[in-house]
Chains A and B, each alone.
Chain A
Amino acid sequence: MHEESVEPKTRSRCAGSALSWTVSDGVIELALHRPPCNELGSASLEDLERFVTALAAIEAEAHALIIYSQMKSGFCAGADLRELYQRSQAMDKAEAAKGVRDFLERIHRVLNLIDATPLTTIAAVHGVTFGGGFELALACDLIIADKMARFCFPELRLGLIPGFGGIPRLKRDLGNAVVRDLLLTGRSFNASKAQQIGLVSQVVGEGEVLRAARATAAQLKKFDRATSAAAKKFIKPIPHEELRREIDLFCELFARPAVDAGLRKFVESTDAQPYLP
Chain B
Amino acid sequence: MAGLVVIGMAVFAFWQGADLPIGTLGGMGPGMLPRSLAVLLGLLGALLLVGAMFEAGVPLEPLSIRGPVLVLGAVVAFGLTVRPYGLIVAGPLAILISAFASEEVRWAETIVLGAIMTAFCIGLFKFALGLPIPLAPWLIGY
Do the two chains belong together in a single complex?
no
Chain B interface residues (CB < 8 Å from chain A):
none
Chain A interface residues (CB < 8 Å from chain B):
none
